[in-house]
Amino acid sequence: MKIAIIGGSTAGLATGLRLSQGGHDVSIHERRSTSCVGGFGLLLTPSVRHGLMSLGLDVDRLGRPVEKFEIRDEKNQSILCRDLHLTKGVERSELQNILTSALDPQLLHQGNAFCHFESTVEGVANAAIFEDGSRVEADLFIGADGVRSRVRQQWNRGPDLRSVESVELVGIYRGEVPQELLGRALKIIPQAGGLAIGMVPTSDRSVVWYIQCDPRRWPQCLTDSEERARWLKALVGQFPEPVAQIIQGSDLSNVHLWRTTDRDLPETFHRGNVLLIGDAAHPLLTFTSQGTGSAIEDALAIGGLLDQNGNADIDSDHLQGILGEFSRVRKPILKARLYMGRRMQSQFLSHSSERQQLVPICS
């Protein structure tokens, strides 16, 4: 089957790889002209690791092992310390690189943004039209173009994104990793609430850090990068080490402001022959750390469903059945994560004593 994937980040690359392994004629269309965007990162959990291994990737060479996750308050008192199993801190660019290098380079087309679909009166998409006027025909289109997906807005709108209630600043420190962060992800959650600072080692010489903020209480997080850098330098001085060393030692002009949001799940993730996956389909709040894992699971799920058909031609009714099954399989899992993220966010934003019971782990 001819499949065009729009968006070439985690969801698009993993799905492109999985479907090309299944023998489909795949193309991936990414608006950015290079595959590596920034060097922020994530905790690679055993389930994400397992997903990547199912794609035939050698995950052992990725990132740095993280054996413990600890939460402390602003006075450096330990609130919780948990052993982590088979978990690694990984830079996002490393993950993208390993996915890209496993793909046939001819499948990936970069530097051209999707604009809209050309469709029949019956509502079947015939071709995707791109910014430079080019036209890509396919039997199945997959929208993997992220949280503010154009494919979704153009074709399968569903519930709107919810308003942004918490934001996250993400940055990277490059230098010697302090002793306290060797094999350990650390998170500082001050008693006053509305703010949390996390640090994850991603190599022997890098630490990804993130600051979760309630923007109503900390409007400085939304200011321009110079003012925000001044605020961050002063803020982190009030926290125990290694917070100041990591954040003041980072390039504060290269901090990603992430306006975190989600949306209610739609009835189905497809309309006609256009399927949404990853953040385009089901954006999740960062508190659950499940964005990357969910994107890779989507890739494996659609790959498995299409495999069941073998190499036979798939008619339109059959394709509807397969895409409907994708929603039936994925929705219960994603719904649980969606609600978990909302619960964690509301505890993070509240002043209640319940706040500490469910703690966000990592971005």
Ligand X SMILES: Cc1cc2nc3c(=O)[nH]c(=O)nc-3n(C[C@H](O)[C@H](O)[C@H](O)COP(=O)(O)OP(=O)(O)OC[C@H]3O[C@@H](n4cnc5c(N)ncnc54)[C@H](O)[C@@H]3O)c2cc1C
Q: How far is the CB of 130 from ligand X (least distance, A)?
A: 7
Nearest residue (CB) to ligand X, 73 versus 116:
116
Tell me the C-alpha distance between 25 and 14, whole Å: 15
Q: Does 287 contact ligand X by CB under 6 A? A: no
Q: Does 94 contact ligand X by CB under 6 A? A: no
Q: How far is the CB of 211 from ligand X (least distance, A)?
A: 12
User: Which phi and psi angles does 60 have, rounded to 5°?
Assistant: -65, -25
- Work out which of 3, 8, 140, 287 binds ligand X, going by CB under 6 A: 8
The set of residues, in sequence order, having a beta carbon less than 8 Å from that of 222 and lying 6+ positions away, is: 167, 215, 228, 257
User: Segment near ligand X (CB under 6 A), from 9-17, 60-68, 183-191, 304-312?
Assistant: 9-17
Q: Does 89 contact ligand X by CB under 6 A? A: no
Tell me the C-alpha distance between 14 and 301, whole Å: 11
Q: How far is the CB of 316 from ligand X (least distance, A)?
A: 25
Note whether 90 and 202 are within 8 A (CB).
Answer: yes
- Bridge partners (DSSP) of residue 276 are 143
Q: Does 300 contact ligand X by CB under 6 A? A: no
Nearest 10 degrees: Cα torsion 164, 278, 210, 163: 0
Q: Does 38 contact ligand X by CB under 6 A? A: yes
Q: Does 42 contact ligand X by CB under 6 A? A: yes
Residue 187-226 contact track with ligand X, rule CB under 6 A, x = bound: ----------------------------------------
Q: Does 114 contact ligand X by CB under 6 A? A: yes
- Work out which of 260, 292, 345, 347 binds ligand X, going by CB under 6 A: 292
- Work out which of 44, 90, 103, 145 binds ligand X, going by CB under 6 A: 145
Taking CB under 6 A as the criterion, which residues in 229-258 touch ligand X? 256
Please state at what angle helix 10-21 crosses helix 92-102, rounded to 10 degrees: 20
Q: Does 30 contact ligand X by CB under 6 A? A: yes
Nearest residue (CB) to ligand X, 129 versus 321:
129
- DSSP codes joined into one string, 253-309: TS-EEEEE---PPPS-SEETTEEE-HHHH----GGG--HHHHHHHHHHHHHHHHHTT
Q: Does 117 contact ligand X by CB under 6 A? A: no
Q: How far is the CB of 287 from ligand X (least distance, A)?
A: 11
Q: How far is the CB of 352 from ligand X (least distance, A)?
A: 27
Pull the structure tokens for residue 323: 């895409």
3-state secondary structure of 132: coil
SS (H, E, C) 75-119: CCCEEEEEECCCCEEEEHHHHHHHHHHHCCHHHEEECCCEEEEEE
At 202, which helix (H) or strand (E)? Answer: strand 195-203
Nearest residue (CB) to ligand X, 208 versus 229:
208
Q: Does 276 contact ligand X by CB under 6 A? A: no
Tell me the C-alpha distance between 107 and 25, whole Å: 9
Q: Does 40 contact ligand X by CB under 6 A? A: yes
- Work out which of 171, 242, 291, 360 binds ligand X, going by CB under 6 A: 291
Cα distances (angstroms) measured from residue 308 to each of 100, 267, 303: 26, 24, 9
Q: Does 93 contact ligand X by CB under 6 A? A: no
**176 secondary structure, DSSP code:** P
Residues of this chain that bind ligand X (CB under 6 A): 6-12, 29-32, 37-38, 40-42, 92, 113-114, 144-147, 150, 170, 256, 278-280, 291-292, 295, 363
